[in-house]
């Protein structure tokens, strides 16, 4: 039986705004709520900002929460080029500039975590605290790369509610959280004509010849100086807790927190714990 999760119920009554902003020529969809220090939330491969619908209310009580569709994703523009990690990072910095930010905290899930880490390592002047939320396959396992690539392409090129649901269910420990509403939103995005070409650019970093230039490695990960929280789960389909501990050793000044009873989307399956850990870490209570 599906969980009774409704995106609008999660957001009803929350003072928020959804809008588009020009980021270096890229029309970018943004949702934000709250005031104070900026906290940018970044979704994963093939995702969209609704991935954080269950977190906006709680986090906006403490921060100016900004979530957006990465370039090539969701309802943002989809240029005809590979969406590599440096390109996605440049888009993030461009978004911060367009919104008039001087510095921001950042929390990224899966691909978003990869982008967050890359940004912290290569653009440290922009980044406050960093949360890497199930950043995904840091040891470059070929089977995981192939699964992400094939399931994402199939969900777009053979678009059906069944294929979209299958793609989403792989991310969850408790698959009853994959509601019809969530499937319908992603199906609506995946059936937009421009997605037919964009999906191959979205999964380009699952090909080793491209991925090798950005693969998780202590040579660049070790440059992260921002206080960093690695947020993992006990049922992440892309990587084990042992891999999280490896990343923990690579990143100076990092901490590791494991959320139990969740898969690749702890922000959706365990929103209360996810939110509280964010507040505590950014406020320095976990130092």
* 243-249 contacts, C-beta under 8 A, 24 or more apart: 243/138, 243/139, 246/138, 246/139, 247/132, 247/135, 247/138, 247/216, 247/221
Q: In this model, does residue 5 exceed pLDDT 90?
A: no
Domain boundaries, the chain: 7-282
State both tokens at 49. 């900002």
All residues at 6 or more sequence positions from 180 whose CB lies less than 8 Å from its CB, including other chains: 2
| Distance in angstroms (rounded) separating the CA atoms of residues 129 and 107 | 8
Q: What single-letter DSSP state applies at residue 44? A: -
Q: In this model, does residue 286 exceed pLDDT 90?
A: no
Calculate mean pLDDT across residues 151-178: 96
Cβ 3 vs Cβ 11: under 8 Å: no
Q: What is the pLDDT of residue 223?
A: 96
Q: In this model, does residue 3 exceed pLDDT 90?
A: no
Over residues 28-75, the pLDDT tens digits come to 999 999 999 999 999 999 999 999 999 999 999 999 999 999 999 999
Q: What is the pLDDT of residue 4?
A: 75
Q: What is the pLDDT of residue 260?
A: 97
C-alpha angle 80-196-7 in degrees, rounded to nearest 5: 105
CATH topology for the 7-282 domain: Rossmann fold (3.40.50)
CA distance to 35, 84, 93, per residue, from 202 (Å): 32, 8, 19
Q: What is the pLDDT of residue 33?
A: 98
Over residues 77-90, the pLDDT tens digits come to 999 999 999 999 99
Burial of residue 278 (CB within 10 Å: 0-12, 13-18, 19+) is: buried
Residue 16: phi and psi, rounded to 5, are: -145, 170
Looking up tokens 């319908």 gives 184
Q: What single-letter DSSP state applies at residue 161? A: H
| Residue 27: pLDDT band with limits 50, 70, 90 | very high
Point out the least confidently predicted range of 1-5, 82-86, 103-107, 119-123: 1-5
Helix, strand, coil percent content, the chain, rounded in steps of 5: 45, 20, 40
Among 201, 257, 264, 278, the one annotated catalytic: 264
C-alpha angle 165-168-172 in degrees, rounded to nearest 5: 125
All residues at 6 or more sequence positions from 35 whose CB lies less than 8 Å from its CB, including other chains: 64
Q: What is the pLDDT of residue 266?
A: 98
Calculate mean pLDDT across residues 213-237: 97
Q: How far is CA 125 from the centre of its chain?
A: 21
Q: What is the pLDDT of residue 187?
A: 98
Over residues 100-112, the pLDDT tens digits come to 999 999 999 999 9
More confident of the two residues 108 and 137? 108
Q: What is the pLDDT of residue 109?
A: 98
| Residue 253: pLDDT band with limits 50, 70, 90 | confident
| Residue 287: pLDDT band with limits 50, 70, 90 | confident
Q: Is 264 a catalytic residue?
A: yes
- How high is the mean pLDDT of the chain? 96
């Amino acid at each position: 039986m599906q969980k009774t999760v409704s995106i609008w119920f999660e957001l009803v009554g929350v003072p928020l705004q959804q809008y588009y902003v020009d980021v270096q020529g890229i029309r970018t969809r943004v949702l934000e709520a709250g005031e104070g220090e900026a906290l940018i939330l970044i979704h994963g491969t093939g995702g969209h900002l609704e991935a954080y619908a269950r977190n906006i209310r709680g986090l906006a009580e403490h921060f100016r929460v900004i979530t957006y569709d990465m370039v090539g994703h969701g309802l943002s523009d989809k240029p005809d080029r590979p969406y590599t990690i440096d390109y996605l990072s440049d888009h993030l910095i461009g978004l911060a500039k367009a919104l008039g930010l001087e510095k921001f905290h950042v929390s990224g899930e899966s691909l978003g975590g990869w982008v967050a880490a890359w940004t912290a390592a290569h653009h440290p002047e922009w980044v406050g605290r960093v949360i890497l939320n199930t950043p995904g396959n840091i040891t470059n396992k070929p089977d995981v790369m192939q699964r992400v690539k094939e399931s994402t392409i199939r969900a777009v090129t053979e678009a059906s509610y069944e294929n979209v649901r299958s793609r989403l269910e792989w991310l969850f420990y408790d698959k009853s959280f994959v509601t019809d509403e969530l499937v319908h939103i992603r199906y609506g995005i995946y059936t937009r004509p421009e997605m037919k070409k964009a999906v191959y650019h979205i999964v380009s970093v699952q090909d080793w010849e491209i991925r090798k230039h950005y693969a998780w490695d202590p040579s660049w990960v070790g440059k992260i100086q921002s206080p960093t929280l690695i947020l993992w789960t006990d049922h992440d389909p892309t990587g084990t807790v042992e891999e999280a501990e490896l990343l923990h050793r690579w990143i100076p000044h990092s901490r590791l927190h494991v959320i139990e009873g969740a898969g690749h989307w702890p922000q959706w399956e365990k929103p209360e714990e996810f939110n509280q850990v964010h507040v505590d870490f950014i406020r320095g209570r976990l130092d």
